[in-house]
Amino acid sequence: MRSVRLAWLSFRLGVLTALQYRANLAIQLLQSLMSVGVALAGVALVYSQTSRLAGWRQEELVGLIGVYMIVAGLLGLVIRPSMERLMEGVRLGTLDFTLTKPADAQLLVSVKQVEVWKAVDVAVGVVVLVFAVLRLGDRVGPDRALAFGFVLAAGVAIIYSFLLILATMAFWLVRLENILVIFGSMYEAGKWPIGIYPPWLRVALTLVVPVAFAITVPIEALTGRLEIATIAVTIGLAAAFLVAARWFWRFGLRHYTGASA
Amino acid sequence: MSRLLAVYRAKFRTELAIQLAYRGALAIWLIGIVLEPIVSLVVWTTVANGQGGAVGGFTAGEFAAYFTSLLIVNQLTFTWHFWFFEWRIREGFFSPLLLRPVHPIHNDVAENLTFKLLTGTIVVPVAIFLVVAFGATFQTQPWQIAAFVVALGLAMPLRFLAEWTLGAAAFWITRTGAINQAYSVVMLFLSGFLAPLALFPPAIQAVAAVLPFRWMVAFPVEVALGRLAPDQVLAGFAAQLAWIAGLVLVMRVVWAAGTRRYSAVGA
């Protein structure tokens, strides 16, 4: 309970810092609308030539874009900036200040930096997703919505764990900021259903960089393409990822010597 | 002229040393640059195969040819300097460049060409791999290969001039990120990055023919694929030359006005 309160406090501090720069809201809004516009136009262009893309209907792909934006927003809101801050902290030695605090260090570093305007991405994504669901009509019942919620949470947990593992490597490799850029490029490929890619790329996007779980799998749940078993596997995998990331973080921490000391 | 060549030689040598020092950053650029055409390629081959093999006059093999040619053309024409203008002006990094006895654009041209030489050693093999892996089909005749070289040779200065002049907007505006992004969006649609322009509605195609974007990227790609007749190719060269001439003029005016405004922040 105390840790939840701490995380909330840290998050609130980040929000207050960001609120000082209100002009950035307009810029973020413009950027979010442009990126969603490009993605939707791409989908429209594809469906001007065909009615199905590997079995996917247009509304389903619009929903996929919505999920893509939501997850991108969640990552950009707190996870990515915090991981960048963590890696910088390892390099500069400022991580010392976090580690001396009497609370769980993993929690503290995970919510350290908030880029509040990325919430615009989430909002735009939700609008797009709701629009797509309405177009899908009565085919989305509460069972699918529930499955979607669980799988989306699991997908975000998997990506969070993955990024934490990457960031933890900074304890040994120090200069690693660019590795998040690679993740960004791979994430772009998630704009389309993973199933259309050739096997090697599909494997890369599922196992090497687990983008598939956060974008394709949730929308598959929403459109009723997922078996119960796959949902269970995704949630189980999320739990495994969380445990592994936790273990690796503590293992890495033991190798941290503090650059400033 | 020979003095400028000597400047370029010196700049190439130092740039090569600098850029080789950041090999990790190079590799990261490459993943982004290579993954993008693969995604488009996969999407459009899926569409073509789903529609019985061809869509909008493109077969799956021709889509593969289109996007691999696009990879090469983009590799040779892309610039990044306009993203850094704002930073350079804000931090005063233009001051030393302005003190040099050559126009700062030469510094950036040399930087650009060095980066391309380095990354080209990997992009070209990747393109060849894609041609084989996705079964790209070209209907190119020998004269079109020559025409492609010319089109590409004109597209490079055209895109460089346009984007460099765009970057100079930072002399007047402190935050140019949104402008640059808007430019990239327009570029995405009208230069054939998203899909061959032939697949777009006629209205957009008409707009694309008038604006410079098509002539920077899509035109050389279409020539490489052997989809253009001799008269279309010649008209394209004319459009490229006209835009280059116009942009040189605009660049000179903008640059002269911009440097007059430049107040060397950070100095």
pLDDT value, residue B238: 95
Question: What rounded mean pLDDT belongs to chain B?
Answer: 87
What is the token pair recorded at B77? 């024409």
Cβ pair B50:A198 closer than 8 A: no
Q: What pLDDT is stored for residue B267 in this prediction?
A: 47
ipTM: 0.82
Res. B264 pLDDT band, cuts 50 70 90: low
Comparing CA positions, the residue from B73, B76, B109, B85 lying closest to residue B191 is B73
Q: Which residue in chain A is spatially nearest to B186 when comparing CA positions?
A: A38
B267: in domain: no
Scanning A192-251 for CB atoms below 8 A from B yields 192, 196-198, 201
Rounded (10°) angle between helices B177-190 and B202-210: 120
Q: What mean pLDDT is predicted for residues A182-197? A: 86
Q: What confidence score (pLDDT) does residue B180 get?
A: 87
> Any bridge partners for residue A189, and if so which?
none
Tell me the pTM: 0.84
In a mutational test of the A interface, the residue from B29, B47, B179 whose CB has the highest number of chain A CBs within 10 Å is B47
Domain assignment of residue B193, yes or no: yes
Q: Average pLDDT in the A185-212 region?
A: 87
B188 touches chain A (CB under 8 A): yes
- B31, B38, B44: residue with CB nearest A182: B31
| pLDDT attached to residue A238 | 94
Tokens for A165? Answer: 């593992």
pLDDT at A138: 67
The secondary element (H helix, E strand) that includes residue B54 is: strand B54-55
Q: Which residue has the higher pLDDT, B147 or A7?
A: B147
Q: Least CA distance to B182: which residue of chain A?
A: A34
Phi, psi of B135 (to 5 degrees): 60, 50
Q: Which of B133, B152, B148, B117 is CA-nearest to residue B225?
A: B148
| Stretch A122-144: mean pLDDT | 87
All residues at 6 or more sequence positions from A1 whose CB lies less than 8 Å from its CB, including other chains: none
pLDDT score recorded for residue B245: 96
Tally of CA atoms within 13 A in the half-sphere of A167 that contains its CB? 26
- The verdict on residue B249 lying in a domain is yes
Least confidently predicted of A35-44, A67-76, B142-151, B177-186: B177-186
CA distance A171 to chain B (A): 18
* Tens-digit pLDDT profile for residues B235-249: 999 999 999 999 999
Mutate which: A25, A33, A40, A48, vs B, most B CBs within 10 A: A48
Average pLDDT score over residue span B151-163: 94
Reply yes or no on whether the pLDDT at B117 is more than 90.
Answer: no
Residue B37 lies in a domain: yes
What pLDDT score does B133 carry? 86
Q: Which residues of A touch B177 (CB under 8 A)?
A: 27
Q: What tokens appear for B94 in the block?
A: 């233009």
In angstroms, rounded to a whole number, what is the distance separating the alpha carbons of residues A239 and A244? 9
Given a cut of 90, whether residue A189 has pLDDT beyond it is no
Whether A175 sits inside 8 A of B24 (CB atoms) is yes
- Cβ of A53 within 8 Å of Cβ of B200? The answer is no
Residue A98 exposed, middle or buried by CB count within 10 Å (0-12, 13-18, 19+):
middle
Rounded distance, CA B131 to CA B115, Å?
Answer: 24
> Which range of residues forms the domain containing residue B69?
2-261
Interface test with A, best of B30, B31, B34, B39 (most A CBs within 10 A): B39
pLDDT band at A153 (very low <50, low <70, confident <90, very high): very high
Q: How far apart are CA A215 and CA B39, in angstroms?
A: 16
Most confident of A25-29, A213-217, B155-159, B226-230: B155-159
Whether B28 sits inside 8 A of A42 (CB atoms) is: no
B42 and chain A: CB distance < 8 Å anywhere?
Answer: yes
Specify whether the CB–CB gap between B217 and B70 falls below 8 A: yes
Residues of chain B contacting A54 with CB distance shorter than 8 Å:
46, 50
pLDDT at A260: 56
- Residue-wise pLDDT for B72-90, tens only, equals 999 899 888 888 888 888 8
Taking contacts as CB-CB distances below 8 angstroms, the residues of chain A near B178 are 27, 30-31
Q: How would residue A141 be classed by pLDDT, with cut points 50, 70 and 90?
A: confident
The total number of structural domains in chain B stands at 1
What is d(CA B108, CA A125) in angstroms, rounded to the nearest whole number? 38
Tell me the average pLDDT across A69-98: 88
